[in-house]
Amino acid sequence: MFRKSVFLFAFFAAVISLSLNASNIKIALYNESKITSLMVTSEMGRYTLITSDSLHPLLLDNTTLLQITVVNDSIQVNTFEKKIGTYTFLKIISDSSLLKLKAIQPALKEKICRGIFDINILKGSLNVINTLSVEDYVAGVVEAEVGSKLPAEFYKAQCIITRTYALSHLRRHEAENFNLCDKVHCQAYNGVGKRNPFIVIAAQQTKDVVLVDSSSELITAAFFSNCGGTTANSEDVWNKKLSYLRSVNDTFCLKQRNAVWKKEIDKTDWLNYMKKNCKATISDSIICNAVQANRAVYFIDKSSGIKNTSIRLDLNLKSAFFTVSDMGDKVLLRGRGYGHGVGLCQEGAIQMARKGYSYTNILHFYFQQVNIINLSQKEFFKE
Ligand SMILES: [Zn+2]
Ligand SMILES: [Zn+2]
């Protein structure tokens, strides 16, 4: 009996210390997907199940598949062979192994995850909170966000951006008892993924490294696909001027995949849209031959009252940086870049890395007057 309690004490002490560690983060998985049935198994190695009625942890291996289902406001846990029981909450600990999570109701794509999983019922569905290390989270987000086979220095820059974003939004879901959701609202997180070794290494090598502004505040680390040659000032896109989000000329991305785009629009539709939104009287010929040599806030000029960013959103354009040509029945929009244009241009950053620039060179090129700091060496973050 004594040995058992010592074991349990050590076991829970380890769990508690893991959940209180500042380098861990709590992510709500399947947030708002309202899942009522979930299958869990291990890819390889053992995992532990702790149930609400008992302190006895159940040690499971990759031959055991748990089926977790909401039944009458309780959580029913079964394996293929038998019913384990019905509980109010569960804790699953993956130890060092990777777990496979597959939502059955509704059916969703499998996620590979690791860490601690606290599961209870919230408004009739399973509430799954995954506690994992910030570095595992960062690597998972980056793997989902960018392609494979990219240069290491680019992966490091992207990891620092992802970490800076995550750590600056840790209180976003404070009222719900987790840090970030797994949706685009916070940052899309689909699990630790296949564990691309180059991304995992980049996350480890930049552990605790973030971007701060001149007041030592974590920055809004914005990024997008391609700027088309010039990035945008933050206030020209989001109405908020941030000292580190200034327009820069970028020649690195000019020959990359998303550097240019074209779109034909029916001339009548184009003129109707413009006339509906334009505050000044502008001739059809000017509206159909508008040139944007450099990034401009307004279409033609300020008197039009139409922001290029609004046209981009309304007409679903790849960027707000485009020129118009009259083609008779149609107008041809010739655009540059892909995305909002504020912050780091990913295709430019990838080219910089290929040309031998370091992640610090890349980040200082796209973010002005920022400092790249290691949080483990900063007292202010530990409070
Ligand atoms: Zn969120
Ligand atoms: Zn660019």
Domains in the chain with CATH codes: 2-133 (2.60.200), 208-252+341-382 (no CATH), 260-336 (no CATH)
Residues facing 87 on adjacent strands: 75
Q: What is the pLDDT of residues 210-246, one digit of tens each?
A: 999 999 999 999 999 999 999 999 999 998 999 999 9
Give the pLDDT band of residue 379 (cuts 50, 70, 90).
low
Q: How far is the CA of 272 from the centre of ligand 1 (A)?
A: 38
Q: For residue 219, give the DSSP letter.
A: P
Is 369 within 8 Å of 243 (Cβ atoms)?
A: yes
- Which ligand has the minimum distance to the alpha carbon of residue 342? 2
Q: Is the pLDDT of residue 289 over 70?
A: yes
pLDDT at 383: 41
Query: Residue 212's closest CA among 372, 359, 367?
Result: 372
Please write down the long-range contacts of 355-361, taking CB distance under 8 Å and 24 or more positions apart: 355/252, 357/153, 358/153, 359/153, 359/154, 359/156, 359/157, 359/160, 359/206
Is 19 within 8 Å of 75 (Cβ atoms)?
A: no
Q: How far is the CA of 214 from the centre of ligand 2 (A)?
A: 24
Give the pLDDT band of residue 19 (cuts 50, 70, 90).
very low
- Which ligand has the minimum distance to the alpha carbon of residue 232? 2
Place of tokens 């060179």: 361
Q: Is the pLDDT of residue 10 over 70?
A: no
Q: What proportion of the chain, given as a percentage, has pLDDT over 90?
A: 84
Q: How far is the CA of 310 from the centre of ligand 2 (A)?
A: 21
Q: Which of 16-20, 126-130, 310-314 has the lowest mean pLDDT?
A: 16-20
Query: Residue 228's closest CA among 374, 337, 71?
Result: 337
Give the pLDDT band of residue 23 (cuts 50, 70, 90).
confident
Burial 35-53 (b: 16+ CB within 10 A, else e): bbbbebbbeeeebbbbbbe
- Which ligand has the minimum distance to the alpha carbon of residue 180? 1
Task: Give dist(CA 286, CA 171) in Å, integer.
Answer: 49
User: Backbone phi, then psi, for 351, in 5-degree steps?
Assistant: -65, -40
pLDDT at 74: 95
Q: Is the pLDDT of residue 14 over 60?
A: no
Q: How far is the CA of 182 from the centre of ligand 1 (A)?
A: 7
Q: How far is the CA of 322 from the centre of ligand 1 (A)?
A: 33
Q: What is the mean pLDDT of the chain?
A: 91
> What's the whole-number mean pLDDT along residues 51-55?
84
Q: Is the pLDDT of residue 106 over 60?
A: yes
